[in-house]
Amino acid sequence: MALNRKIAYIDLSTGQIETKPIPVEMRKKFLGGRGLDMYLMYNHIKPGIDALSPDNVVFVSAGILGATLASASSRTHIGGKSTLTGFVGSANMGGFFAPELRWAGFDHLVLKGKAERPVYIWIHNGEVEIRDAGNIWGQTVHDTQQIIREELGDRDIKVLTIGPAGEKLVRFANVMTGLKDAGGRSGMGALLGSKNLKAIAVRGTMDIKIEHPAEALEYNKKIITQVTSAKVSQTQGKLGTPFIWGATNSQGLIRVRNFQLNQLENADEVEPEALEELAVGMAGCFGCQVHCRSKYIIPEGPYAGVYDEGPEYTSQGAFAGEPGCRNANTVLVGNHLVNIYGLDNLETGSMIAWAMELYEKGILTSKDTDGLDLRFGNDDALIEMVHRIAKRQGLGDILAEGPLRAADKIGKDSIKYLVHVKGMSNLHSDERATPALALGIATGSRGADHLRSRPAIDLYHLPESVLRSIYSQPVPYDGPLSSDYRDYEGKPWQVVWQEHTYEAVDCLGICKYHTIFLGATLPNYEEWSRLLYLNAGLEMTPLDIWTAAERAYNIERLFNIREGLTREHDWLVDRYFDEPTRLGIPGVRGRTIDREKFKKMVDEYYEHHGWDEQGVPRPETLQRLGIDNEPSHML
Say if residue 519's pLDDT is above 90: no
Whether residues 56 and 181 share a domain: the answer is yes
Whether residues 173 and 315 share a domain: the answer is no
Cis peptide before 311 (omega within 30 of 0): yes
Question: Would residue 216 count as lying in a domain?
Answer: no
Domain end position, chosen among 425, 450, 471: 425
CA 268 centroid distance within chain: 28
Whether residues 268 and 409 share a domain: the answer is yes
Whether residues 182 and 258 share a domain: the answer is no
The pLDDT value recorded for residue 277 is 94
Say if residue 1's pLDDT is above 80: no
Question: Would residue 217 count as lying in a domain?
Answer: no
The parent domain of residue 43 ranges over 6-203
Whether residues 245 and 323 share a domain: the answer is yes
Q: Give me the mean pLDDT over the 227-250 stretch.
A: 92
At 404-422, the pLDDT tens digits run 999 999 999 999 999 999 9
Say if residue 449's pLDDT is above 70: yes
CATH label of the domain that carries residue 270: 1.10.569.10
Query: Within 10 A of 161 (CB to CB), how many other CB atoms are there?
Result: 30
Helix, strand, or coil here: 371? coil
C-alpha–C-alpha distance, residues 594 and 100, integer Å: 48
Say if residue 195's pLDDT is above 80: yes
pTM for this entry: 0.97
DSSP 95-122: SSHHHHHHHTTEEEEEEES--SS-EEEE
The pLDDT value recorded for residue 71 is 93
Say if residue 452's pLDDT is above 90: no
Measured CA to CA in angstroms, residue 408 lies from 403, 405, 411, 412 at distances of 9, 5, 5, 9
At 601-616, the pLDDT tens digits run 999 999 999 999 999 9
Question: Would residue 215 count as lying in a domain?
Answer: no
CATH label of the domain that carries residue 10: 3.60.9.10
Whether residues 541 and 588 share a domain: the answer is yes
Report CA Rg, the chain.
23
Whether residues 349 and 474 share a domain: the answer is no
Question: Do residues 183 and 92 make contact, with C-beta atoms less than 8 angstroms apart?
Answer: yes
Question: Would residue 614 count as lying in a domain?
Answer: yes
C-alpha–C-alpha distance, residues 475 and 492, integer Å: 15
Question: Do residues 382 and 376 make contact, with C-beta atoms less than 8 angstroms apart?
Answer: no
Say if residue 113's pLDDT is above 70: yes
